Amino acid sequence: MTDYFEVHARDGAARVGELRLESPRTTPALVDDVLEDAGSLWSADRDVPEGDESTLTVLPHRAFPGGTAPEVQESFAVDYPDVDYPSVAVVSSEHATDHGTDAYAVSDVQSITGHGAALVEAVVNTRKAIPADTALLFSGVATPRNVAVLAYAGVDCFDETAAVVKGMEGRYLTTDEAYFLEDLEDLPCSCPACQQPREEFTRKDCAEHNVNALEAELGIVRRRIRDGRLRDYVEGQARHDQWLTAAMRELDSQWGYLEERTPILRDAQINAATEDTIRRVEIQRFADRVTTRYRNRFSNPLVLVPCSATKPYSESQSHRQFHDAVQWRGHLVSMTSPIGVVPQELETTYPAQQYDTVVTGRWSEDEKGFVSSVLERYLERNEYPKIIAHVPDEGYRDIVERVEEALDLEIIYTVPEGGHPTDDESLANLSAALSGELKYAKREREHNTVRAIADYLLGDGAGDDLFTDIQTTSRYPKIQVRDREDTQLATMVPQYGTLSFTLEGAKRWVDSDAPTKRVEIDGFVPHGSVLAPGVVDADEEIRVGDEVIVEGPKAFGVGRAEMFGREMQSSTRGIACEIRHVEEK
Amino acid sequence: MTDYFEVHARDGAARVGELRLESPRTTPALVDDVLEDAGSLWSADRDVPEGDESTLTVLPHRAFPGGTAPEVQESFAVDYPDVDYPSVAVVSSEHATDHGTDAYAVSDVQSITGHGAALVEAVVNTRKAIPADTALLFSGVATPRNVAVLAYAGVDCFDETAAVVKGMEGRYLTTDEAYFLEDLEDLPCSCPACQQPREEFTRKDCAEHNVNALEAELGIVRRRIRDGRLRDYVEGQARHDQWLTAAMRELDSQWGYLEERTPILRDAQINAATEDTIRRVEIQRFADRVTTRYRNRFSNPLVLVPCSATKPYSESQSHRQFHDAVQWRGHLVSMTSPIGVVPQELETTYPAQQYDTVVTGRWSEDEKGFVSSVLERYLERNEYPKIIAHVPDEGYRDIVERVEEALDLEIIYTVPEGGHPTDDESLANLSAALSGELKYAKREREHNTVRAIADYLLGDGAGDDLFTDIQTTSRYPKIQVRDREDTQLATMVPQYGTLSFTLEGAKRWVDSDAPTKRVEIDGFVPHGSVLAPGVVDADEEIRVGDEVIVEGPKAFGVGRAEMFGREMQSSTRGIACEIRHVEEK
Amino acid sequence: MSKPTPDVYEQGKGMDAHNKVMREIRSRKEASYDPHEPTRVWLDEDNTPGGVKRSLTIILNTGGCRWARAGGCTMCGYVAESVDGGSVSHEALMNQIDVCLEHEADNADEPAELIKIYTSGSFLDEREVGAETRRAIGETFADRERIVLESLPDFVDREKIADFTRHSIDTDIAIGLETATDRVRHDCVNKYFDFADFEDACAEAAEANAEAGDDADAGIKAYLLMKPPFLTESEAVEDMISSIERCADVDGCHTVSMNPCNVQRYTMVDELYFRDGYRPPWLWSVAHVLEQTADVDAIVVSDPVGHGSDRGPHNCQDCDDRVQKAIKDFDLRQDPTVFEQVSCECEGTWEVVLERERSFNQPLTR
Amino acid sequence: MSKPTPDVYEQGKGMDAHNKVMREIRSRKEASYDPHEPTRVWLDEDNTPGGVKRSLTIILNTGGCRWARAGGCTMCGYVAESVDGGSVSHEALMNQIDVCLEHEADNADEPAELIKIYTSGSFLDEREVGAETRRAIGETFADRERIVLESLPDFVDREKIADFTRHSIDTDIAIGLETATDRVRHDCVNKYFDFADFEDACAEAAEANAEAGDDADAGIKAYLLMKPPFLTESEAVEDMISSIERCADVDGCHTVSMNPCNVQRYTMVDELYFRDGYRPPWLWSVAHVLEQTADVDAIVVSDPVGHGSDRGPHNCQDCDDRVQKAIKDFDLRQDPTVFEQVSCECEGTWEVVLERERSFNQPLTR
């Protein structure tokens, strides 16, 4: 039972949480002033302390520093008592287990900090062993430079200690460096400690500055998590120390850990500013879904076009010009780095609508490789009577030609060498290449759009399983899906290109062959939110943002997940999902 | 004449300068309080102001905002008066010209800020038109987020204006974002303005905070320039806004502008943390010199080995093991990203000894492409009786195999599949592959080292031109080069792997066919430093850090360049080069 | 180094450049119009020396502004709405008047007391509107109380005014003075006449007024341009306040209408705007000028066009409608306390812009 | 959840684990030594109850510590320097003594007043040094003033002591107590005896002293380990102060030697150190303990080995030599004011480490 910690917001592995002490504290945060250490059992026998709700008590512990042999860890392992106040267990990252406490302090922090792979392994190991709604404490390591990456990896609580120690050692910490104080001619900071003449600035002041800088950085981190944009921050911030970049990359390799914790949609921009963006869960997941779940339902030729900076693409000037030439005679698929390919039906889905990239017209080999492989997989799965590539030279044409060769296709290129897709000549070529093709109707377009989104969201074939016999009303992109009797089943949500089901839609979904994601609840009828304690079981496939079926002995409903599946299972606090519609059984 | 601005330190296009006002100001800096605007000639006729040395006077001007037609700019162009106090001319980035003032304010700043290519074009254009030792002022655009990139591009002076305006608009500026004040639950900063309850924090406070944050960031920028590490900072910082990343990349494409301003050596680490590091001048220049200037002089087989984290490589544990196996029977060339290939003689040169990369064992396609192309060019220029690749699978082997195929070579691989170069088996293979080969002597090694460094520093063939008939003394890496009569010619400087010439060495250099870099001075005998006004002419090829011949009617000397060639020509203040040895004529 | 020269450019050179550029810009627009239709017509209310009146405004299509054809004013895009090439016949112009009268009959309960005729040129220029047409129009509106006629100052002539006063119509000549500062009018607006020409026109109108005796009044309504290109917000405000004061001081000029610049397509201002080199004035600036000049001896009005849009005068979006309403209120009541009723957080931003905007960092906001 | 258990581990389990790990670590070292050579020998000066004396220190190679062969102390790497396998013969041991005497003759003007013999085990354990050898050594050094003999407390026996006192040599038994706290000695050091055993040994020595009468003194010199693994800097300091106080209180124990832990190869401490899990103590801690215990009723000395290096006790590099010098000075003069003479900026860091280091964030510095 974690009575004293609750997760309020998630951004990948990072969370904004709340230490529910007498005066609550929002994490990631420094906890020096509320941490009470009952002491080490290495140096003395200790009583279990009284404890109280104003502090987080570190229960008597035997900490194993880095390098402690497994046998020693095993034989000296401590069983933590069950207490009724906020408590912390000390665990080694190599042998972490669930002790029923609210928080866990990692004993080998000094060994794992400074090494990307070690840090990631330690956090992932520990997080796997302890419940999702418990706080992870790293003592003695946080600095203004590393704390964003530590929080990004999934650490919740920190202390001033390293900042103070480094300050006393004469290191002036900023988010980018640990400057030698004696090298600084002036103090590049405006915190109170730095508001004095340089020559009067002591190491104690330096320590104070370091703590101020750390506090400020944690403020940025909390804001970024709330905004769903910590990763964007880390893609810049991590560059200031090699091991932090390594840590970010290693974490990207921990697909299972990170994917589970990454929402399927979010109201935040994705900055594609470095080569590491390609390895983001959101990007890889999109590419995966487009190439394994989505299926083209149009019988028209494929028209490959370049992406546009304006999102959704169809609102851009260039895509309007393409559209004027195509006139619903072709199936538009946009090529883009770092997303891959985006069929027109999915242009509003996350993150196709939310990413923003650096425009220089230069493609890296890795970008080309990634987009080529996505396009190749896409074309292996989807057959077209004709393929038209309406793309400029740089990057795009390269990629199309690679795939053309790899799959032995015949592709018509409509942009002359050196030309631009919006040139009159290019547009005329495009139109000519489609001459004689039939236009598809608005109805077909809309039906295919909601089916494609169903594929993308729910799984391969879901669009056909759910939406074979439908009618659509309202204007794109706010399409409403209705059955033949005019009963509404779902609505397309244009901000993220997702679907919101009605109760009737949910029932149809449950009855269909399409995979559902279910939250099993206790015998009550939820209104508004389902809290974690009310969850009996939840599919492990559930991700934050997923449409979920909520069912229990007394109720059937549909809503949106606010936790991932295993988090719902293991949490004892917090909102598991938000109910949209519910009915009593 | 720029009497009132002097450049003290350079880091690529960025400089630490000094506005020599009554109270001097170190740039990059805010100049609000010392800027006196004599006013616009659009709104009224203006007298040339009195002016004084406490302020920087903006002379009466007609500013052309972005979008002003060239004809209008031309016909309304202003001739600035020649004044004897610190003065600023307002110029449009499209039509900048030298007006003899100490500083230049760019009139179309609002149009170029926010657009990477436009910014870079504007700065490069303006910098080309105005003398090197004048300050560039961007008014009304600096924010904590963009100012590092602006300074990196070559801007010296800024003001609080944009920070204040954004603050009054309710935007809370940090180095990573422009947060909407109303979105912030707490203030992620420790500046004096932020030391109050959130609910009492007004837009005026926000403006004050923004200015504080901007000042602090400028402090970091100045420190980074002095440390020669602004680029490392920008590789992280630029990620926080797409246009800043675009600007960094566009600047990399301005090879002429950036290369001229980049020192050939520097006592600072290079962080290779992003894919953009490959495009750094230092990296490209190294690759260029290794493949066009350096020439292998050993007749032994080539042994390709992986780089090590320890620098110079020969001091690493792995390279000691390689050495124990090779025993001077092979020519060791290290393969490394993002440097390319490093022959053993050049292991101490900049930046082979100064770069530090992110260790994850993962190679990007671009890294592989770059290293392959360097290796290929290297092997086209240097022939070996035998090539041994003592490299592990990941990345390295790929690259070697690509080059093997491209050049139709036959390469012996000594590391078994899945093995590591320091495994016993690998080392035994390596030794076996070299069995029967002759060892080269220490003398040969040392002679070839100083010759290779001469090639690298001075040009193709320089090593032979200068150092055919030499002896070497002292211990590697502090080798002294002497002629047959024991007169010292040069010393190898192990920190940067460069050569310091003696007067005798300088004379030999001048007499040789090797290209020299010359600074022509007036009729005086310099001691210590040569100041810019004393320079009559200087080779445009001179870069900061270059060994230069200093000669005038009265003196012949040798020293190290502190400015690049064109800067020496056009500057009227500052140290042009440091003299090491000089003699009167 | 050159020597300091107080007047740093040649007068004619700037005009040539402006005209060349404006000609090029205007040439991109392809459009032509029916000479039998007015450019625009609408009903409104206006403050006049005789009080607030119901008005019928007519933009007459007269073949357009000759100056604009040469290049013309940097902010003006109207030319392109005129008939291509030459002049418009008497019959066509009278057809346009008929269309306007029909519009009035269809949309108003009773005839407007005030008629306003603009031509995007000069109504009193006989190459645009011949004497025959002018007189016919005078007769057409003989039953109205008041008429406003647009003209460049050169064409203001007591005889032509008498064509209206003789029907006992109070007659105002609307002159697009833009600013009282010749330098700004020439260099920023690219309008070629001087303030002295305006003063002469006012004198002519005063004479016409005297000649008309008690039958009718005649006078001048000055149109000023708030924030021409190249000026900062504070320069624009200062220039506007002094311009209003100078106009009000001229005998014969009884009304000043301040037009905040808006960004019209196919103008030099639009080119600047597109490249982030121009921002229309703040509505706070308009309000501030009206407040500051409330006590001058003239009616001062302003009717911001396109308020609240990026291309029109605007504040922060939140308060645009409120401030616009206060301005319209002031137009009718001339009571500066109306501005005390409106406030917004963005006023602080505007104050900072006034304080900090320089011509080498403008525009500071969007 | 398990119920709270005050004593949370099984006593023997920890020892087994430590031993298993230490055995594995030690097994990595491959080396063997000549049983006819002492492990080490050197000349120095030492503070003794009889004043400061010239000393000859002998590390006798006796076939090594039996305990170490079972696994042994977590910080001790000496075992590996002993003879492989079994015990060393009487002749070999006496050869070692001869080598030492030659060293002394070669390097000192006159014979040392004080002889110190360590064995990396127990000199008084007859399985290491037989009675015959012990007696022969007693005779060899009969002309010296004082002898120090290393032993585990179990082997301290008045009879064995008498083999030396009978030659009128003042005899001190050096016991590697490490700490007075049994828990720390067991769990952190992995030494199996208890403080009570030490007290018994002291009583035995006191008895031997009484029996020797005025001919010679006999007593115990306790060796303590400053900062065993798993303790924080402040825990180590506190444990050391209390250990010194407790030792000094024991009758028969007249000297305490505090050994700051240094990181020896092939030890558990080295494993921790290699993985950033251990830092040797600060020299400030050593100085602090000496200052704090200056008034106890015993000589307290410390001779930090490897001071200033990363693997030995150290401060910030800048001040290591100065602080080491003060400690050596204190050893001889027992005057705590010597520490007032040294200061360094890093003292502030050390204070912060004392305040903030926890076993779950250690080590806070390198």
Q: Using one digit for the tens of pLDDT, what is the confidence trace for D285-304?
A: 999 999 999 999 999 999 99
Read off the pLDDT of residues B84-143 as tens digits, 9 standing for 90 and up: 999 999 999 999 999 999 999 999 999 999 999 999 999 999 999 999 999 999 999 999
Answer whether residue A454 shows pLDDT above 90.
yes
Residues 361-390 of B with CB under 8 A from A: 362, 364-366, 368-369
Beta carbons of D272 and A67 less than 8 Å apart: yes
Q: Do chains A and C touch, with touching meaning 3 or more CB–CB pairs less than 8 Å apart?
A: no
Residue B235 and residue B303 in one domain: no
Beta carbons of A161 and D231 less than 8 Å apart: no
Q: Exposed, middle or buried by CB within 10 Å (0-12, 13-18, 19+), for A578? A: middle
Show residues of chain A in contact with D346, CB under 8 Å: 168-169
Residue B489 and residue B551 in one domain: yes
What is the mean predicted confidence (pLDDT) over D46-54?
89
CB A457 within 8 A of CB A499: yes
Q: Is residue A446 part of a domain?
A: no
Q: Which domain holds residue C260?
A: 11-356
Residues 202-241 of B with CB under 8 A from A: 212-213, 215-220, 222-223, 227, 232-233, 235-240
In this prediction, residue C2 carries a pLDDT of 36
In this prediction, residue C86 carries a pLDDT of 62
Nearest to C360 among B81, B99, B107 (CB): B107
In this prediction, residue C9 carries a pLDDT of 41
In this prediction, residue A315 carries a pLDDT of 94
State the average pLDDT for chain D. 90
Residue B402 and residue B511 in one domain: no
What is the mean predicted confidence (pLDDT) over C26-50?
83
Nearest to A82 among D1, D181, D272 (CB): D1
Nearest to A72 among D17, D183, D363 (CB): D17
Strands (E), chain C: 40-48, 51-59, 114-118, 146-150, 170-178, 218-226, 253-260, 299-302
Residue A136 and residue A247 in one domain: yes
In this prediction, residue D62 carries a pLDDT of 83
In this prediction, residue D30 carries a pLDDT of 62
What is the mean predicted confidence (pLDDT) over D132-148?
95
Q: What chain D residue is nearest to A167 in terms of C-alpha separation?
A: D349
**Cβ-proximal residues to D147 (8 Å cutoff; 6+ apart), any chain:** D114, D115, D116, D117, D141, D164, D169, D170, D171, D172
Nearest Cα residue to C178 out of C261, C95, C251:
C261
Give the number of C-alpha atoms closer than 13 A to the C-alpha of residue C165, restricted to the C-beta side: 24
Q: Do chains C and D touch, with touching meaning 3 or more CB–CB pairs less than 8 Å apart?
A: no
pLDDT band at B406 (very low <50, low <70, confident <90, very high): very high
State the average pLDDT for chain C. 90
Answer whether residue C82 shows pLDDT above 60.
no
Q: Is residue D226 part of a domain?
A: yes
Mutate: best of A224, A248, A360, partner B, most B CBs <10 A:
A360
Q: Is residue C45 part of a domain?
A: yes
Q: Is residue B189 part of a domain?
A: no
Q: Is residue C214 part of a domain?
A: yes
Residue B16 C-alpha, separation from nearest chain A C-alpha, in angstroms:
13
Residue A470 C-alpha, separation from nearest chain B C-alpha, in angstroms:
41
Beta carbons of A216 and B188 less than 8 Å apart: yes
Residue B327 and residue B460 in one domain: no
- CATH number of the domain where residue A317 is located: 3.40.50.10630
Q: What chain B residue is nearest to A117 in terms of C-alpha separation?
A: B360
Read off the pLDDT of residues A279-292 as tens digits, 9 standing for 90 and up: 999 999 999 999 99
High-pLDDT (> 70) share of chain A, %: 100
Read off the pLDDT of residues B536-576 as tens digits, 9 standing for 90 and up: 999 999 999 999 999 999 999 999 999 999 999 999 989 99
Nearest to B203 among C184, C231, C348 (CB): C348
pLDDT band at D5 (very low <50, low <70, confident <90, very high): very low
Read off the pLDDT of residues B3-48 as tens digits, 9 standing for 90 and up: 899 999 999 999 999 999 999 999 999 999 999 999 999 999 999 9
Q: In degrees rounded to 5, what are phi and psi of residue C223? A: -105, 125
Read off the pLDDT of residues C212-259 as tens digits, 9 standing for 90 and up: 988 899 999 999 999 999 999 999 999 999 999 999 999 999 999 999
Q: Chains near D, with 3+ CB pairs < 8 A?
A: A
Q: Is residue B266 part of a domain?
A: no
Q: Is residue C165 part of a domain?
A: yes
Q: What chain B residue is nearest to A189 in terms of C-alpha separation?
A: B216
The Cα C327–Cα C257 span in angstroms is 12
Nearest to D231 among A42, A48, A161 (CB): A42
State the average pLDDT for chain B. 95
pLDDT band at B178 (very low <50, low <70, confident <90, very high): very high
Beta carbons of B66 and C268 less than 8 Å apart: no
Q: What chain A residue is nearest to D352 in terms of C-alpha separation?
A: A165
Q: Is residue C1 part of a domain?
A: no
In this prediction, residue D10 carries a pLDDT of 47
Beta carbons of A65 and D275 less than 8 Å apart: yes
pLDDT band at B361 (very low <50, low <70, confident <90, very high): confident
Structure tokens that stand for B258 in this block: 């950036």
In this prediction, residue C79 carries a pLDDT of 59
CB B152 within 8 A of CB B234: yes
CB D268 within 8 A of CB D18: yes
Residue A282 and residue A246 in one domain: no
Beta carbons of B42 and C272 less than 8 Å apart: no
Beta carbons of A76 and D7 less than 8 Å apart: no
In this prediction, residue D34 carries a pLDDT of 79
Beta carbons of B62 and C232 less than 8 Å apart: no
Residue B240 and residue B97 in one domain: yes
Residue C83 C-alpha, separation from nearest chain B C-alpha, in angstroms:
27
Nearest to A65 among D7, D277, D346 (CB): D277
Q: Do chains B and D touch, with touching meaning 3 or more CB–CB pairs less than 8 Å apart?
A: no
pLDDT band at C4 (very low <50, low <70, confident <90, very high): very low
Tokens 């879901």 -> residue: A462
Answer whether residue A211 shows pLDDT above 70.
yes
Answer whether residue A535 shows pLDDT above 80.
yes
High-pLDDT (> 90) share of chain D, %: 73
Read off the pLDDT of residues C106-136 as tens digits, 9 standing for 90 and up: 999 999 999 999 987 889 989 889 999 999 9
Q: Which domain holds residue B516?
A: 455-584
pLDDT band at C11 (very low <50, low <70, confident <90, very high): low
Beta carbons of B275 and A176 less than 8 Å apart: no
Beta carbons of B43 and C183 less than 8 Å apart: yes
What is the mean predicted confidence (pLDDT) over C280-285?
98
Q: Nearest-5° angle of CA A121, CA A123, CA A126?
A: 105
Tokens 């392959």 -> residue: B372
Residue A202 and residue A314 in one domain: no
High-pLDDT (> 70) share of chain B, %: 100
Read off the pLDDT of residues B140-177 as tens digits, 9 standing for 90 and up: 999 999 999 999 999 999 999 999 999 999 999 999 99
Residues 154-193 of B with CB under 8 A from A: 174-176, 179, 183-192
Residue B146 C-alpha, separation from nearest chain C C-alpha, in angstroms:
16
- Tell me how many domains chain A contains: 3
In this prediction, residue D49 carries a pLDDT of 87
- CATH number of the domain where residue B464 is located: 2.30.130.10
The Cα C355–Cα B539 span in angstroms is 47
Residue B477 and residue B535 in one domain: yes
Structure tokens that stand for C241 in this block: 């306040």
Show residues of chain D in contact with A75, CB under 8 Å: 9-10, 13-14, 16-17
- CATH number of the domain where residue C209 is located: 3.20.20.70
Beta carbons of A40 and D21 less than 8 Å apart: no
State the average pLDDT for chain A. 95
The Cα C167–Cα A320 span in angstroms is 57
What is the mean predicted confidence (pLDDT) over B206-220?
98
DSSP structure class, residue B205: H
Q: Nearest-5° angle of CA C354, CA C355, CA C356?
A: 100
Q: Is residue D363 part of a domain?
A: no
- CATH number of the domain where residue B73 is located: 3.20.20.105
Mutate: best of B174, B225, B242, B279, partner A, most A CBs <10 A:
B242
Q: Is residue D73 part of a domain?
A: yes
Answer whether residue B437 shows pLDDT above 80.
yes
Beta carbons of B63 and C14 less than 8 Å apart: no
Q: In degrees rounded to 5, what are phi and psi of residue A25? A: -130, 135
Nearest Cα residue to B419 out of B443, B394, B436:
B394
Q: Chains near C, with 3+ CB pairs < 8 A?
A: B
Residue A343 and residue A407 in one domain: yes
- Type of residue numbered B260: E
Q: Chains near A, with 3+ CB pairs < 8 A?
A: B, D
In this prediction, residue D12 carries a pLDDT of 67
Residue C347 C-alpha, separation from nearest chain B C-alpha, in angstroms:
9
Coil, helix or strand at residue D332: helix
Show residues of chain A in contact with D239, CB under 8 Å: 43
Q: Do chains D and A touch, with touching meaning 3 or more CB–CB pairs less than 8 Å apart?
A: yes
Answer whether residue B397 shows pLDDT above 50.
yes
- Type of residue numbered D60: L
Beta carbons of B222 and A274 less than 8 Å apart: no
> Of A234, A258, A282, which one is at a domain's C-terminal end?
A258
Residue B262 C-alpha, separation from nearest chain C C-alpha, in angstroms:
30
Residue A333 and residue A388 in one domain: yes
CB D35 within 8 A of CB D92: yes
Residue A288 and residue A154 in one domain: no
Q: Is residue D366 part of a domain?
A: no
- Tell me how many domains chain C contains: 1
Q: What chain C residue is nearest to B80 in terms of C-alpha separation?
A: C4
pLDDT band at A25 (very low <50, low <70, confident <90, very high): very high
- Type of residue numbered A32: D
Q: Which residue has the higher pLDDT, B399 or C7?
A: B399
In this prediction, residue A456 carries a pLDDT of 96
Read off the pLDDT of residues D142-201 as tens digits, 9 standing for 90 and up: 999 999 999 999 999 999 999 999 999 999 999 999 999 999 999 999 998 999 999 999
Answer whether residue A84 shows pLDDT above 80.
yes
Q: Is residue A264 part of a domain?
A: no
Beta carbons of C361 and B139 less than 8 Å apart: yes
Read off the pLDDT of residues A7-20 as tens digits, 9 standing for 90 and up: 999 999 999 999 99
Show residues of chain C in contact with B67, CB under 8 Å: 271-278
CB A252 within 8 A of CB A279: yes
